[in-house]
Structure 1
């Protein structure tokens, strides 16, 4: 049993890289392709339409699962706040760049300005919904992951990676879509989109479970740590490595 101070003093070789990867996936998923709708034909089902950015967004949850499983809830919490801060900065930066007056002396601006506004000029309502949905979903995911690890005594990793994604992605979708599109889309459409996107994101988690197993196993051996959040305070607004953390 180590104290939180001893845990914080421990140096990790790969933690920062994982945080960077999680933030990169989050930003790319929200900036590249969220407004594009793709359609595919599936046997016996027919055409399915979905937001293209959703193909990659679940990878961010896998990063969150790995961070919580290996390093514990408190360190995953710091990563979630880093992602939230990056999203907030990207939103402010996009707004500032779009609203700065373009130079009339540069002819290319006539094409560039409307393109920037189209691609990065999402409404404030959608940007707010995206940040709130991410914050709620990721913290729920990390909390469920950490609690299930204690309940299973560290066994059956798949139960907590998939279980936490089921709950976290549900909270994400149930937060984002109503905030962003309630009153704009019909209620039936809103419900269908929520169910389909939740199903697709959980399916990605299930398919990539072997990859998660491999990465988690390798990281635990490389870092020499397997964190159990015994006594951790699950306050999402703290940035401290608080509570008693058992590292086996």
Structure 2
């Protein structure tokens, strides 16, 4: 395997684009379907988005671990642009006047009507949380010399999901939901996001190992510029 410094930034990979597409699909599903619904199951109160959103951190971990922070950064910006576009289009579509006799407007509004607060909260929380997650994993990989994947997978998710939750729920729902509900859902969803990462560890190990073999890549961000404000792949 070549050392990371000798690998060109424009190198082509077999599965990078597929993982990018899966990441964006999970992100849009989590933010357009799940964020505004509170559920109670087996005594736990949580936001429905928890069913999907932790997968975005799993993809973020895999991307950073195999391809490095810079390529993960491109995927985060791709997801951010897709989420912003989907949010804008939901507003445009809902504001278009329905045809006479069309009976679906109210149903569409009940499902896809996102308030500016939720859009702002989703975009800000996703951006900050994903970059924090990727940065933490890349730095922990350097600190551990590439050993103990479990520690950086869980640790980076704990940090990134914490930033995400601390931004999203207060910005989106404080003053709309009861303060207690905001705190309960924020705390419960944070714990569940980290728990998802723990449960997914066997899968993370298998996917990371398979990708490293297939791509002949195991990136170490020893010379990486960690600014989030770039689309450079190297």
TM range (shorter): over 0.9
Deviation of 1:185 after TM superposition, in Å, equals 3.3
TM-score, normalised to structure 2, is 0.95
Question: Within 1, Cα distance between the matches of 2:223 and 2:9?
Answer: 15
Q: 1:51 aligns with which of 34, 47, 60?
A: 47
**Structure 1, unpaired ranges of 5+:** 42-46, 243-248
Choose 232-241 or 182-191, whichever is displaced more. Answer: 182-191
The 5-angstrom pairing of residues 209-228 of structure 1 reads 209-228=201-220
Q: 1:132 aligns with which of 124, 128, 147?
A: 124
Deviation of 1:56 after TM superposition, in Å, equals 1.3
Q: 2:157 aligns with which of 165, 168, 173?
A: 165
Q: 1:75 aligns with which of 71, 74, 88?
A: 71
Question: Within 1, Cα distance between the matches of 2:27 and 2:149?
Answer: 24
Deviation of 1:121 after TM superposition, in Å, equals 0.5
Tell whether the 8 Å contact from 2:10 to 2:233 is kept in structure 1 after alignment: no
Choose 72-81 or 183-192, whichever is displaced more. Answer: 183-192
Question: Within 2, Cα distance between the matches of 1:135 and 1:9?
Answer: 24
**Structure 2, unpaired ranges of 5+:** none
Question: Within 1, Cα distance between the matches of 2:18 and 2:118?
Answer: 29
Q: 1:194 aligns with which of 176, 186, 198?
A: 186
Match of 2:39 in 1: 38
Q: Deviations over 1:199-227 (max 9, x none)?
A: 01100110010000000000000000100
The 5-angstrom pairing of residues 85-124 of structure 1 reads 85-104=81-100, 107=101, 109-110=102-103, 112-124=104-116
Report the CA distance shift for 1:195/1:2 in structure 2 as closer, same or farther (over 3 A).
closer
Q: 2:166 aligns with which of 162, 171, 174?
A: 174
Q: How many residues matched?
A: 232
